[in-house]
């Protein structure tokens, strides 16, 4: 059964070049890729940036940080996606670069202590003091 509201929301957002899709919409290799995608869409919907701004930021990251040896195309693309998102978030003043680094360190700590396949959850002791 088709969810017409979901289809309308999907159709309202112009396709983002390079996003792997099937007939239902974007496809992802890992949950973190879907989360990165969802964050960008949510921030766009809240007016933090326009799609042309997003396309420019993503294009800059794709050119600046190509796929690394052994990195899958999906991982490379969403690594670039996150870098573009961080650039826009900091550039628009929604978070400082220092705050983004603080959360990246906390995420790395949380990921290190989380068993493979389990959800990563941030805790207060994951953040640098």
- The structural domains of the chain, with segments of one domain joined by +, span 33-126
Least confident of 19-23, 91-95, 103-107, 119-123: 19-23
Does position 3 have pLDDT exceeding 80, yes or no? no
Residue 106: what pLDDT?
Answer: 94
Residue 117 pLDDT grade (very low, low, confident, very high; cuts 50, 70, 90): confident
Distance of CA 91 to the CA centre of its chain: 16
Determine the Cα–Cα distance for residues 80 and 102; give it in Å rounded to an integer. 19
* φ, ψ for residue 21, nearest 5 deg: -135, 155
Distance in angstroms (rounded) separating the CA atoms of residues 88 and 105: 19
> What pLDDT sits at residue 91?
95
Predicted pLDDT of residue 129 = 85
Could you give the CA distance from residue 79 to residue 37 in angstroms, rounded to a whole number?
11
Question: What is 25-39 written as a DSSP string?
Answer: EE--SSHHHHHHHHH
Average pLDDT over residues 113-123: 90
List Cβ neighbours of 39 (8 Å cut-off, separation of 6 or more). 85
How deeply is 93 buried, as exposed, middle or buried, from its count of CB atoms within 10 A (0-12, 13-18, 19+)? exposed
pLDDT tens per residue, range 30-77: 888 888 999 999 999 999 999 999 999 999 999 999 999 999 888 999
């Amino acid at each position: 059964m088709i969810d017409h509201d979901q289809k309308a929301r999907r159709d309202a957002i112009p396709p983002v070049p390079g996003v792997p899709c099937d007939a239902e919409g974007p496809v992802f290799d890992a949950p973190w890729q879907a989360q990165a995608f969802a964050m960008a869409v949510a921030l766009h919907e809240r007016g933090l940036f326009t799609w042309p701004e997003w396309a420019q930021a993503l294009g800059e990251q794709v050119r600046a940080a190509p796929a690394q040896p052994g990195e899958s195309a999906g991982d490379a693309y969403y690594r670039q996606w996150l870098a573009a998102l961080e650039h826009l978030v900091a550039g628009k003043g929604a978070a400082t670069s220092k705050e983004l680094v603080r959360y990246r360190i906390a995420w790395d700590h949380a990921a290190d202590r989380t068993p493979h396949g389990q959800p990563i959850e941030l805790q207060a002791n994951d953040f640098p003091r």
